[in-house]
Amino acid sequence: MSGPVLRAEGVTLRYGAVVAVDHVDIAVAPGVLHGVIGPNGAGKSSFMDALSGRRRLSGGTVHLDGEDITKRNVAWRRKNGMARSFQKTSVFNSMTVRTQLEMVARRNREDDLAGIVSAFGLEPYLDEPCISISYGLQRSVDIAMALIGKPHVVLLDEPGAGLSQEESVRMLDHIRGLCSERDVAAVLVEHDVDGVFRVCDEITVLSLGKVLATGKPAEVRANPAVIEAYLGSQA
Protein backbone atom coordinates (compact mmCIF):
# COMPACT_ATOMS: atom_id res chain seq x y z
CA MET A 1 0.00 0.00 0.00
CA SER A 2 1.35 3.46 -0.91
CA GLY A 3 1.72 6.35 1.56
CA PRO A 4 -1.28 8.23 2.90
CA VAL A 5 -3.05 10.61 0.56
CA LEU A 6 -4.59 12.34 3.56
CA ARG A 7 -2.67 12.86 6.75
CA ALA A 8 -3.97 14.98 9.61
CA GLU A 9 -2.02 15.45 12.81
CA GLY A 10 -3.14 16.95 16.08
CA VAL A 11 -6.33 18.33 14.56
CA THR A 12 -8.01 20.48 17.17
CA LEU A 13 -11.17 22.52 16.86
CA ARG A 14 -12.51 24.74 19.60
CA TYR A 15 -15.83 26.55 19.81
CA GLY A 16 -15.06 29.06 22.51
CA ALA A 17 -14.29 27.08 25.63
CA VAL A 18 -15.63 23.84 24.15
CA VAL A 19 -13.07 21.55 22.53
CA ALA A 20 -15.04 19.74 19.82
CA VAL A 21 -12.03 17.96 18.31
CA ASP A 22 -9.03 17.35 20.48
CA HIS A 23 -5.70 16.43 18.89
CA VAL A 24 -7.04 13.87 16.44
CA ASP A 25 -4.67 12.11 14.02
CA ILE A 26 -5.70 10.27 10.90
CA ALA A 27 -3.90 8.87 7.85
CA VAL A 28 -5.74 7.44 4.85
CA ALA A 29 -4.11 5.64 1.91
CA PRO A 30 -5.52 5.66 -1.66
CA GLY A 31 -8.53 3.42 -2.11
CA VAL A 32 -8.96 3.00 1.64
CA LEU A 33 -12.33 3.66 3.24
CA HIS A 34 -11.75 5.05 6.72
CA GLY A 35 -14.80 5.18 8.96
CA VAL A 36 -15.23 7.65 11.79
CA ILE A 37 -17.82 6.66 14.35
CA GLY A 38 -18.79 7.78 17.79
CA PRO A 39 -21.79 8.76 19.88
CA ASN A 40 -23.69 12.01 19.31
CA GLY A 41 -21.52 14.97 20.20
CA ALA A 42 -18.31 13.01 19.71
CA GLY A 43 -17.06 15.64 17.24
CA LYS A 44 -17.40 13.61 14.02
CA SER A 45 -18.92 16.34 11.88
CA SER A 46 -16.64 18.95 13.43
CA PHE A 47 -13.72 16.73 12.50
CA MET A 48 -14.97 16.60 8.91
CA ASP A 49 -15.35 20.38 8.90
CA ALA A 50 -11.79 20.68 10.15
CA LEU A 51 -10.41 18.30 7.53
CA SER A 52 -12.33 19.89 4.68
CA GLY A 53 -11.43 23.47 5.56
CA ARG A 54 -14.98 24.46 6.35
CA ARG A 55 -13.73 25.57 9.75
CA ARG A 56 -10.34 26.97 10.60
CA LEU A 57 -8.28 24.69 12.81
CA SER A 58 -7.49 25.71 16.36
CA GLY A 59 -4.46 23.47 16.14
CA GLY A 60 -2.81 20.77 14.08
CA THR A 61 -2.14 20.29 10.39
CA VAL A 62 -3.78 18.65 7.38
CA HIS A 63 -1.68 17.26 4.54
CA LEU A 64 -3.01 16.23 1.12
CA ASP A 65 -0.63 14.23 -1.05
CA GLY A 66 2.17 15.30 1.26
CA GLU A 67 1.42 19.01 0.91
CA ASP A 68 0.37 21.05 3.93
CA ILE A 69 -3.09 22.38 3.05
CA THR A 70 -4.03 23.61 6.51
CA LYS A 71 -4.33 27.20 5.35
CA ARG A 72 -5.78 26.47 1.92
CA ASN A 73 -9.42 27.42 1.21
CA VAL A 74 -12.03 24.86 0.28
CA ALA A 75 -12.11 25.77 -3.42
CA TRP A 76 -8.37 25.18 -3.65
CA ARG A 77 -8.71 21.89 -1.80
CA ARG A 78 -11.46 20.76 -4.16
CA LYS A 79 -9.42 21.65 -7.23
CA ASN A 80 -6.48 19.76 -5.81
CA GLY A 81 -8.17 16.56 -4.87
CA MET A 82 -10.20 16.88 -1.67
CA ALA A 83 -13.98 16.71 -1.99
CA ARG A 84 -16.78 16.31 0.50
CA SER A 85 -20.47 15.70 0.88
CA PHE A 86 -22.61 17.01 3.70
CA GLN A 87 -24.67 15.58 6.53
CA LYS A 88 -27.58 17.72 5.35
CA THR A 89 -27.78 17.18 1.62
CA SER A 90 -26.22 20.12 -0.19
CA VAL A 91 -27.23 20.49 -3.83
CA PHE A 92 -28.31 23.30 -6.12
CA ASN A 93 -32.06 22.99 -5.67
CA SER A 94 -33.41 24.98 -8.59
CA MET A 95 -30.90 23.66 -11.12
CA THR A 96 -31.50 20.47 -13.00
CA VAL A 97 -29.45 17.43 -12.07
CA ARG A 98 -27.77 17.63 -15.46
CA THR A 99 -26.80 21.28 -15.17
CA GLN A 100 -25.17 20.97 -11.80
CA LEU A 101 -23.34 17.76 -12.59
CA GLU A 102 -22.00 19.15 -15.85
CA MET A 103 -21.02 22.38 -14.16
CA VAL A 104 -19.06 20.60 -11.45
CA ALA A 105 -17.60 18.19 -14.01
CA ARG A 106 -16.33 21.03 -16.14
CA ARG A 107 -14.82 22.74 -13.17
CA ASN A 108 -13.04 19.60 -12.04
CA ARG A 109 -12.09 18.21 -15.44
CA GLU A 110 -14.12 15.03 -15.20
CA ASP A 111 -14.04 13.07 -18.45
CA ASP A 112 -16.34 10.24 -17.43
CA LEU A 113 -19.39 12.02 -16.14
CA ALA A 114 -21.66 9.52 -17.86
CA GLY A 115 -20.01 6.81 -15.75
CA ILE A 116 -20.79 8.63 -12.52
CA VAL A 117 -24.34 9.35 -13.60
CA SER A 118 -24.78 5.73 -14.49
CA ALA A 119 -23.23 4.54 -11.23
CA PHE A 120 -25.82 6.45 -9.24
CA GLY A 121 -28.68 5.64 -11.64
CA LEU A 122 -29.41 9.30 -12.23
CA GLU A 123 -30.11 9.14 -15.98
CA PRO A 124 -33.92 9.31 -15.70
CA TYR A 125 -33.71 12.39 -13.51
CA LEU A 126 -31.16 14.45 -15.42
CA ASP A 127 -33.65 17.06 -16.55
CA GLU A 128 -35.46 17.30 -13.25
CA PRO A 129 -34.77 20.26 -10.97
CA CYS A 130 -33.05 18.86 -7.91
CA ILE A 131 -35.78 20.17 -5.64
CA SER A 132 -38.35 17.95 -7.34
CA ILE A 133 -36.54 14.63 -6.88
CA SER A 134 -36.63 12.47 -3.75
CA TYR A 135 -34.31 13.04 -0.83
CA GLY A 136 -32.50 9.80 -1.56
CA LEU A 137 -31.81 10.93 -5.12
CA GLN A 138 -30.67 14.33 -3.88
CA ARG A 139 -28.28 12.47 -1.62
CA SER A 140 -27.00 10.58 -4.65
CA VAL A 141 -26.49 13.87 -6.53
CA ASP A 142 -24.62 15.28 -3.54
CA ILE A 143 -22.25 12.32 -3.38
CA ALA A 144 -21.93 12.17 -7.16
CA MET A 145 -20.79 15.80 -7.14
CA ALA A 146 -18.20 14.92 -4.52
CA LEU A 147 -16.84 12.08 -6.65
CA ILE A 148 -16.62 14.12 -9.84
CA GLY A 149 -13.12 14.93 -11.01
CA LYS A 150 -11.50 11.88 -9.47
CA PRO A 151 -10.67 13.45 -6.11
CA HIS A 152 -7.82 11.84 -4.22
CA VAL A 153 -9.80 11.84 -1.02
CA VAL A 154 -13.49 12.31 -0.40
CA LEU A 155 -15.01 13.21 2.94
CA LEU A 156 -18.49 11.77 3.33
CA ASP A 157 -20.50 13.13 6.22
CA GLU A 158 -23.29 10.66 7.02
CA PRO A 159 -24.18 9.65 3.46
CA GLY A 160 -26.95 7.46 4.85
CA ALA A 161 -28.63 10.22 6.86
CA GLY A 162 -32.29 10.60 5.98
CA LEU A 163 -32.35 7.37 4.01
CA SER A 164 -34.22 4.21 4.92
CA GLN A 165 -32.20 1.33 6.35
CA GLU A 166 -32.31 -0.45 3.02
CA GLU A 167 -31.29 2.65 1.07
CA SER A 168 -28.52 3.36 3.55
CA VAL A 169 -27.08 -0.14 3.18
CA ARG A 170 -27.21 0.17 -0.59
CA MET A 171 -25.58 3.61 -0.47
CA LEU A 172 -22.68 2.42 1.69
CA ASP A 173 -22.08 -0.60 -0.53
CA HIS A 174 -22.17 1.68 -3.52
CA ILE A 175 -19.65 4.07 -2.01
CA ARG A 176 -17.41 1.15 -1.13
CA GLY A 177 -17.48 -0.05 -4.71
CA LEU A 178 -16.92 3.37 -6.25
CA CYS A 179 -13.97 4.20 -3.99
CA SER A 180 -12.28 0.91 -4.80
CA GLU A 181 -13.01 1.23 -8.49
CA ARG A 182 -11.76 4.82 -8.72
CA ASP A 183 -8.96 4.35 -6.20
CA VAL A 184 -10.33 7.17 -4.08
CA ALA A 185 -9.54 7.41 -0.38
CA ALA A 186 -12.58 8.19 1.71
CA VAL A 187 -13.29 9.31 5.23
CA LEU A 188 -16.77 8.22 6.15
CA VAL A 189 -18.72 9.53 9.12
CA GLU A 190 -21.79 7.41 9.67
CA HIS A 191 -24.28 6.56 12.40
CA ASP A 192 -24.93 3.13 10.94
CA VAL A 193 -22.24 1.35 12.95
CA ASP A 194 -22.87 -2.03 11.38
CA GLY A 195 -22.60 -0.50 7.95
CA VAL A 196 -19.30 1.16 8.81
CA PHE A 197 -17.84 -2.07 10.15
CA ARG A 198 -19.02 -3.85 7.02
CA VAL A 199 -17.61 -1.53 4.35
CA CYS A 200 -14.66 0.30 5.94
CA ASP A 201 -11.03 -0.81 5.85
CA GLU A 202 -10.09 1.21 8.92
CA ILE A 203 -12.09 2.81 11.66
CA THR A 204 -11.48 5.61 14.14
CA VAL A 205 -13.76 5.94 17.14
CA LEU A 206 -14.20 9.41 18.59
CA SER A 207 -15.53 10.18 22.02
CA LEU A 208 -15.84 13.72 23.37
CA GLY A 209 -13.59 14.92 20.58
CA LYS A 210 -10.74 12.51 21.33
CA VAL A 211 -9.64 9.32 19.61
CA LEU A 212 -10.85 6.36 21.61
CA ALA A 213 -9.49 3.75 19.25
CA THR A 214 -8.30 3.36 15.69
CA GLY A 215 -7.42 0.40 13.51
CA LYS A 216 -8.90 -2.42 11.49
CA PRO A 217 -12.62 -3.08 12.06
CA ALA A 218 -11.96 -6.31 13.93
CA GLU A 219 -9.45 -4.63 16.24
CA VAL A 220 -11.77 -1.74 16.97
CA ARG A 221 -14.72 -4.03 17.55
CA ALA A 222 -12.68 -5.98 20.07
CA ASN A 223 -11.33 -2.90 21.85
CA PRO A 224 -12.63 -2.93 25.45
CA ALA A 225 -12.67 0.86 25.67
CA VAL A 226 -14.82 1.08 22.56
CA ILE A 227 -17.14 -1.61 23.80
CA GLU A 228 -17.57 0.12 27.12
CA ALA A 229 -17.97 3.65 25.81
CA TYR A 230 -19.82 3.14 22.57
CA LEU A 231 -20.61 -0.26 21.17
CA GLY A 232 -21.89 -1.91 24.31
CA SER A 233 -23.89 -5.00 23.47
CA GLN A 234 -23.44 -4.42 19.73
CA ALA A 235 -19.92 -5.80 19.91
Partner 1 sequence: MSSTAPTVVTTTDDPAVAPPRGDGAPGRREGRVAVGLERRAVLRALAVAVVILVAGLFVPDLITSSYYMGVAADGVVLGIMAAGIGFLAHRSGLISLGHTAFYGGSAYGVAIFTTHWGWSPTTAAVVAVIGGTLLAVAIGSLVIRITGFGFLMLTLAFGQALYALSTLTSLRDVTGAFDGISVVFSGESQKVAGLTQAQLGAPDTFWPLAWVCLVLVVLGLWLVGRSRFGVTLEAIRENEERARFSGYNTYLPRLGAFAISGFCASIAGVLFALKASYVSPDVLGFQLAGDSLVATIVGGFTILIGPVVGALLYIYAQGRFGDTGNLELYMGLALIVVVIFLPGGVVGFVTDRVVRLRARLWRGRKGAGS
Closer residue to partner 1 in complex, CB, 20/146: 146
Task: Name the amino acid, one letter, at 81.
Answer: G
The vertex-204 CA angle with 89 and 154, nearest 5°, equals: 40
Chain Cα centroid distance, residue 76: 18
Question: % helix / strand / coil in the chain, to the nearest 5?
Answer: 40, 25, 35
Show the site string, 94-113: x = touches partner 1 by CB under 8 A, - = not: xxx-xxxxxxxxxxx-xx-x
Closer residue to partner 1 in complex, CB, 105/205: 105
**Main-chain phi, psi angles of 151, to 5 degrees:** -65, 155
Show the site string, 49-68: x = touches partner 1 by CB under 8 A, - = not: ---x-x--------------
- Picking from 76, 18, 85, the residue whose alpha carbon sits closest to that of residue 45 is 85
Q: Least distance to partner 1 from the beta carbon of 21, Å?
A: 19
Instruction: Assign 61 to helix, strand or coil.
Output: strand
174-213 residues in contact with partner 1 (CB under 8 A) are none
Closer residue to partner 1 in complex, CB, 84/176: 84
136-142 LR contacts (CB < 8 Å, sep 24+): 136/162, 136/163, 136/164, 136/167, 138/89, 138/91, 139/89, 139/163, 139/171, 140/171, 141/91, 141/97, 141/100, 141/101, 142/85, 142/86, 142/89, 142/90, 142/91
Residue 11 and residue 149: Cα distance in Å, rounded?
27
Closer residue to partner 1 in complex, CB, 91/184: 91
Closer residue to partner 1 in complex, CB, 81/209: 81
Q: Least distance to partner 1 from the beta carbon of 107, Å?
A: 5
**Main-chain phi, psi angles of 133, to 5 degrees:** -100, 165
Q: Least distance to partner 1 from the beta carbon of 82, Å?
A: 9
Point out which residues pair with 33 in neighbouring strands: 186
147-166 residues in contact with partner 1 (CB under 8 A) are 149
Q: Least distance to partner 1 from the beta carbon of 209, Å?
A: 23
Closer residue to partner 1 in complex, CB, 10/124: 124
110-129 residues in contact with partner 1 (CB under 8 A) are 110-111, 113-114, 117-118, 123-124, 126-127
- The answer to whether 77 and 115 have CB atoms below 8 angstroms apart is no
Show the site string, 65-94: x = touches partner 1 by CB under 8 A, - = not: --------xxx--xx---xx-x---xxxxx
Q: Which residues bind partner 1 (CB under 8 A)?
A: 52, 54, 73-75, 78-79, 83-84, 86, 90-96, 98-108, 110-111, 113-114, 117-118, 123-124, 126-127, 145-146, 149
